[in-house]
Amino acid sequence: MKDIRVSDITMKEAATSKTLSLSFKEKLEIVKILDRIGVGSIEVEGIESSKVDALRIKSIASLVKNSTLAVPVKMDEQNIEAVWNAAKGAKSVRLQVEAAVSPSCMEYIQRKKADNLVADAAAAVAKCAQLTDDVEFVAVDATRTDVAYLAKIIEAVVNAGAKTVTVCDAAGSMLPEEFAEFISNLTQAAPQLNEITLGISCCNNLNMADACAVAGVMAGASLVKATSYPMDVVALDNISRILAAKADALDAQCHVRVTELKRAMNQIARLCCEDRSKALKFTDSVSEAVEGLVLTAGDDQETVMQYVERLGYSLSDEDAASVFEAFKKIAANKENVGATELDAIVASAALQVPPTYVLEGYVINTSMSFKATSHISLRKNGEIHEAVSLGDGPIDSSFKSIESVVGKHYELDDFHIQAVTEGREAVGESIVKLIADGKVYSGRGISTDIVESSIRAYINALNKIAYEEQN
């Protein structure tokens, strides 16, 4: 069965979009979501302003643990070196050499003659191949160029070290049958494509991008470029579900975790939505299939996990145990636990880094006459570490106590508390964002006690920092 990889190009497309603008923090959050659900590669824009863009790529690279980070380079040695130095912190890096190969684009965009473009593209690929064995050549507007010329440039870049060649239907003017025929003719004209990965990128001008992508896969492509937010190209959720549903018919498998797609797409949609509210609650992401869910402290782990799966999660045994433990703590203080609360529990307890610091206990003393006092106990490597601090309120004193235990101060970038549910037994969610070495680390914590949720959120962010420093 052939492996089909899906490459997300949301952030690269957003960079040139007039309708979608993403902040630095939003890009980092999208990367974490995509890396979690198993996309083959995450594509980002390259370097234009050396300092700013290099920092952005370096920050993103530190978050990519499962996918391949793909970054375009210019056809000059200095830019290639700069991109590589910024991206090499990722577990796997792909350098992309892009060239507009149609006659009109070649003249007005590349400003190169046909033969010169072949030589320059091959030279850029060869330079990239000195740094990494994962080099991609992207033929922009490939469907509107002569197949013989396209085969010539493909031969040159493959000989120079390209392991992936992607052809783009930038015009989006082909029917699925036409695109399949184009891929078949190209593989015959350029037999080198049978030895490497053939990627495709389809525009949605005729609302047929998804269908063309499937036709391309059937004709021999093994990589599909898509976006996780609607942007007139192949839709990541659509193509992933199609490939999963038709795996036997296509004799192909897609590694995107479709059970997590709905939640992931909802999360990304909220990050990309221009009128998004910063106070948006978890409620918006809860699956309709579990809207009426009611769990109690008496429910066992198997029952809880059945509803977790219906929320769209596929958890490891370790994460399942962590979620159930967190569920028991919440359920002990509530008569019922609903779908919204369960969703928040999973988001805060699962899919996390291995904890360096574990909360053992805390004691808070506060009054109108004296400053708040916080006594925090954390476990690290089996040993208990404690600290007592004064502060302007219970949360401030708690954060200071944690800093005393750790022995470091981190700048607090953001902190807010919101109710996950309503009523006397409401569950509160705290979000803490810490800055360490120029990067933002976000932590979440939930509890029926807002001080405890804040402490847990701070420790969650702290554990992410510790994990990065140790690895």
More confident residue, 463 or 152: 152
Query: What would the two tokens of residue 265 be?
Result: 């797409």
Domain boundary residue, one of 253, 272, 291: 272
Question: Please, are residues 150 and 190 in contact by the beta-carbon 8 Å criterion?
Answer: yes
Cross-strand pairs, 200: 167, 224
Same domain membership, residue 156 and residue 46: yes
Same domain membership, residue 158 and residue 36: yes
Strongest mean pLDDT among 213-217, 330-334, 464-468: 213-217
Strongest mean pLDDT among 312-316, 335-339, 403-407: 403-407
CA–CA dist 81, 463 (Å, integer):
32
Q: Rounded mean pLDDT of 325-354?
A: 78
Residue 281 pLDDT = 39
Q: Predicted confidence band at 110 (pLDDT cuts at 50, 70, 90)?
A: low
Q: Rounded mean pLDDT of 222-237?
A: 95
Query: What would the two tokens of residue 282 be?
Result: 């978890």
Question: Please, are residues 169 and 203 in contact by the beta-carbon 8 Å criterion?
Answer: yes
Residue 43 pLDDT = 97
Same domain membership, residue 211 and residue 103: yes
Same domain membership, residue 419 and residue 287: no
DSSP letter for 44, please: -
User: Is the pLDDT assigned to residue 288 strictly greater than 60?
Assistant: no
- Asked, for residue 243, whether it belongs to a domain, the answer is yes
Q: What is the CATH number of the domain that holds 372?
A: 3.30.160.270
Instruction: Name which of 77-81, 124-128, 342-346, 379-383 the model is least confident about.
Output: 342-346
Question: Computed over its alpha carbons, how large is the radius of gyration of the chain?
Answer: 25
CA–CA dist 222, 231 (Å, integer):
22
* Those residues with Cβ within 8 angstroms of residue 86's Cβ, 6 or more apart along the chain or in another chain: 47, 53, 54, 55, 57, 58, 61, 71
Distance from the first to the final alpha carbon of the chain: 34
Same domain membership, residue 315 and residue 246: no
Domain boundary residue, one of 298, 329, 349: 349
DSSP letter for 427, please: P
Percent share of the chain, pLDDT over 90: 51
Residue 421 pLDDT = 53
Residue 238 burial by CB count (10 A; 0-12/13-18/19+): exposed, middle or buried? middle
Same domain membership, residue 246 and residue 125: yes
Q: Tell me: the pLDDT tens digits for 372-414?
A: 899 999 999 999 999 999 988 888 899 999 999 999 988 887 7
In sign, the C-alpha dihedral spanning 5, 9, 11, 12 is positive
Instruction: Name which of 5-19, 298-312, 424-438 the model is least confident about.
Output: 424-438
Query: What would the two tokens of residue 245 be?
Result: 């549903």
Same domain membership, residue 298 and residue 342: yes
- Asked, for residue 299, whether it belongs to a domain, the answer is yes
Same domain membership, residue 330 and residue 370: no
CA–CA dist 385, 405 (Å, integer):
6
Domain count, the chain: 3
Residue 417 burial by CB count (10 A; 0-12/13-18/19+): exposed, middle or buried? middle
- Asked, for residue 51, whether it belongs to a domain, the answer is yes
Same domain membership, residue 253 and residue 116: yes
Question: Please, are residues 420 and 428 in contact by the beta-carbon 8 Å criterion?
Answer: yes
Q: What is the CATH number of the domain that holds 198?
A: 3.20.20.70
Instruction: Name which of 18-22, 311-315, 339-343 the model is least confident about.
Output: 311-315
User: Is the pLDDT assigned to residue 52 strictly greater than 90?
Assistant: no
- Asked, for residue 277, whether it belongs to a domain, the answer is no
In sign, the C-alpha dihedral spanning 407, 409, 410, 413 is positive
Residue 287 pLDDT = 44
Mean pLDDT, rounded, of the chain: 86
Same domain membership, residue 303 and residue 372: no
Q: Rounded mean pLDDT of 145-161?
A: 96
Q: Where are the beta strands (DSSP E) in 144-293?
A: 164-169, 197-202, 223-226, 252-254
More confident residue, 348 or 256: 256
Q: Predicted confidence band at 109 (pLDDT cuts at 50, 70, 90)?
A: low
Smallest CA-to-CA distance from 342 within 326, 356, 357 is with: 326
Residue 54 pLDDT = 85
Domain boundary residue, one of 349, 374, 407: 349
User: Is the pLDDT assigned to residue 291 strictly greater than 60?
Assistant: no
**Number of C-beta neighbours around residue 16 at 10 A:** 9
Same domain membership, residue 59 and residue 190: yes
Which residues span the domain enclosing 410? Answer: 358-470
